[in-house]
Amino acid sequence: MSIPRNWRTRQQRYSLKAEVCNACGNTIFPPRDVCPHCAEQKQSWTNLSGRGEIYSFTTMYSAPAGFEEYAPYTMALVKLAEGPMITAQLTDVDTEDVKIGMPVEMVTRKLSQDGDEGQILYGYKFRPMLRQVA
């Protein structure tokens, strides 16, 4: 990823910044110029909670270029509490423990590194939700 693109998309990758359509009220992630639900252009920014549940998942044994060091790893389709679905890597969980419906939360982790001395790219991954202490 280029340095300008890294800076341009950092809010989406670090804090799950999304948009809410002012016309229909749907949450839009990733942000777009036009609402995919009603085609209106006016949206407002919002922060997503980063909490959701696993809708579907798969384990990658043959990783694409740049991700070989992580193989095997689990990718999940996460349905966020606010509605949007996000594809993301799971972390801090063994593949055999992953279940559909499992509550998860977003964490910021290393995604890749550009070359031996290059830029380290961070972004969101999801882990099993930690229990809240009462």
Residue with tokens 């009220």: 25
- Would you say 52 and 104 are in contact if contact means Cβ atoms under 8 Å apart? yes
- Domain presence at residue 92: yes
The closest alpha carbon to 27, from 18, 14, 17, 36, belongs to 18
Q: Which range of residues forms the domain containing residue 58?
A: 3-128
- C-beta of residue 80 within 8 angstroms of C-beta of residue 26: no
- When the pLDDT of each residue in the chain is averaged and rounded to a whole number, the result is 85
The answer as to whether 133 is a domain residue is no
115 domain-assigned = yes
pLDDT tens digit string along 15-74?
Answer: 788 899 999 999 998 888 899 999 999 889 999 999 999 999 999 999 888 778 888 999
Task: Please state the domain count of the chain.
Answer: 1
Mean pLDDT of 105-131: 81
pTM of the model: 0.80
Q: In what order do the strands lie in the sheet with 17-21?
A: 27-28, 17-21, 43-47
pLDDT above 90 as % of the chain? 56
The single-letter DSSP state of residue 92 is S
